[in-house]
């Protein structure tokens, strides 16, 4: 998360966030020990708040890893939640299933294995929230897939949109180029009203008109 917030502010935010329950805390521990990228508790709380404020029930995640963000979404959306988890790694899928079981959320989460950007085509209907957290080079394609599937007033949320500050420099790799292009697309779109929140690695919150 370098070059976004000062280390002192990062440390403060991490410490001021209340302790998580055993299920979420165990997922955070696993992510640290196995170098699994998750959004973390600061952004998890942001997802929870946005879900509650918007009244979202139907949520599609492009990129879910071990199910950390899905847990925040499913809890916030309540018993009527319909959260779609996607990941291309069968090991992550197995871990996520167990995490959902422990959290008592199995009936709220639909698990899909494969390329997250393509998997949205396998599910019908509109979504209240679409989370984009795939390979960064896929972000422009993910946005193009997401917009037609998002209801009016719905939210596209994307993680890592400041990409450790690399968005401020000439792009040297496909992932950085993908993030830069994504940011240009959302801010130039006539369909979206975007805001980038400089929390952790940058979170884009975009409302569809």
User: Measured between alpha carbons, how far is residue 191 from residues 7, 69, 148, 155 in Å?
Assistant: 36, 25, 10, 11
- The β-bridge partners of 83 are 59, 109
The tokens 């805001």 sit on which residue? 195
Neighbours of 178 (CB within 10 A): 21
Q: Burial of 179 by CB count in 10 Å (0-12 exposed, 13-18 middle, 19+ buried)?
A: buried
pLDDT in tens, 122-140: 999 999 999 999 999 999 9
Is 176 part of any domain?
yes
pLDDT digits (tens, 9 = 90+) for 26-77: 999 999 999 999 999 999 999 999 999 999 999 999 999 999 999 999 999 9
Asked whether the predicted pLDDT for residue 1 surpasses 60, the reply is no
Q: Is residue 147 part of a domain?
A: yes
Question: Which residues have a Cβ under 8 Å from the Cβ of 139 and sit 6 or more positions away?
Answer: 132, 158, 178, 179, 181, 182
> The domain that contains 112 carries what CATH number?
3.40.50.150
203: pLDDT confidence band, cut at 50, 70 and 90?
very high
Within a domain: 23: yes
Which structural domain range is residue 90 located in? Answer: 7-208
- Round the average pLDDT of the chain to a whole number and report it: 96
What values do phi and psi take at 128, rounded to 5?
-80, -35
| Residue among 135, 132, 185 nearest 158 (CA) | 132
In a domain, residue 2? The reply is no
Q: Is pTM beyond 0.85 here?
A: yes
Helix count and strand count (H, E) for the chain:
8, 7
């Amino acid at each position: 998360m370098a070059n976004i917030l000062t280390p002192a502010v990062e440390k403060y935010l991490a410490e001021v966030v209340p302790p998580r329950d055993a299920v979420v805390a165990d997922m955070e521990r696993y992510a640290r020990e196995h170098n699994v990228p998750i959004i973390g508790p600061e952004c998890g709380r942001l997802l929870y708040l946005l879900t509650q404020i918007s009244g979202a029930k139907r949520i599609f995640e492009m990129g879910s890893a071990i199910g950390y963000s899905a847990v925040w979404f499913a809890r916030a959306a309540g018993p009527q939640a319909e959260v779609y988890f996607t990941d291309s790694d069968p090991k992550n899928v197995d871990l996520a299933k167990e995490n959902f079981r422990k959290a008592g959320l199995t009936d709220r989460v639909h698990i899909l294995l494969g390329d997250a950007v393509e998997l949205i085509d396998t599910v019908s209907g509109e979504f209240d929230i679409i989370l984009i957290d795939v390979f960064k080079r896929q972000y422009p394609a993910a946005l193009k897939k997401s917009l037609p599937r998002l209801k009016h007033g719905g939210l596209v949320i994307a993680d890592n949109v400041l990409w450790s500050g690399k968005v401020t420099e000439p792009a040297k790799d496909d992932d950085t180029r993908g993030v830069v292009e994504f940011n240009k697309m959302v801010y130039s779109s006539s369909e979206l009203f975007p805001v980038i929140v400089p929390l952790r690695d940058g979170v884009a919150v975009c409302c569809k008109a």
